[in-house]
Structure 1
Amino acid sequence: MSNFEFQLAYTVKPHKPERDETDAALTRQHLREKLGLDTVEHIETTLLGSITLNNSTLADRKREAEKLVHDYIHDALKELRVLSTVKFYGCLMVDGLGPAIRFDILPK
């Protein structure tokens, strides 16, 4: 079990711009202010944090990191009830795990 620092850069877009911009703005604010992660001054869509990874291989740690952060953001979107109205695009950098990990959460 090891602790790793991470940086998550992200974009939140409305699913249907003419209807869903309010949900997208609420989501951006919630992610920045309510998730308990650090922010980067003057950069609205970057979050900093740390995660504990249990896997031993690099490939498994990458998958585990992606799943943990994806699930954390997914749960926040679910709590806000915006899973059907916003699109989330993330780029995750985890200390020591190599290139950025890209993932998204899109309306179904």
Structure 2
Amino acid sequence: MAYEICGRCGKMFPKNGRAYCEDCFEKTEKELDLILEYISKYPDATILEIITETGVSLKSINCLVKEGHISYVENKLDKAQDEEVKNGEKIVAKKNEFYTRRNR
């Protein structure tokens, strides 16, 4: 019997044509459903909003991206809006830079 190493947890499991063991496969499917449900309601959500609202980790999201289930898109904020957000009280991800909430 051939074995593989799970792409998420690193455990060995019987080869089944998937990148994950059965436990991680089920967890991945549930997380994908949560993400898809959230972005269907909030299509302009940032990665931080998705992580916060769904509880799905960045590592899990990156695994889903790597497998082609979902993909990152560049934030559509223009420079003027971006400056507004940086000075405001919001958390936004733009072009791989994360702006955090700060009192100025």
- Which of the five TM-score ranges fits, normalised by the shorter chain? 0.3 to 0.5
| Greater fraction helix | 2
- What TM-score does the superposition give when structure 2 sets the normalisation length? 0.34
For the pair shown, which has the larger CA radius of gyration, 1 or 2? Answer: 2
| Greater fraction strand | 1
- What TM-score does the superposition give when structure 1 sets the normalisation length? 0.33
Question: Which is bigger in relative contact order (C-alpha 8 A, separation at least 6)?
Answer: 1
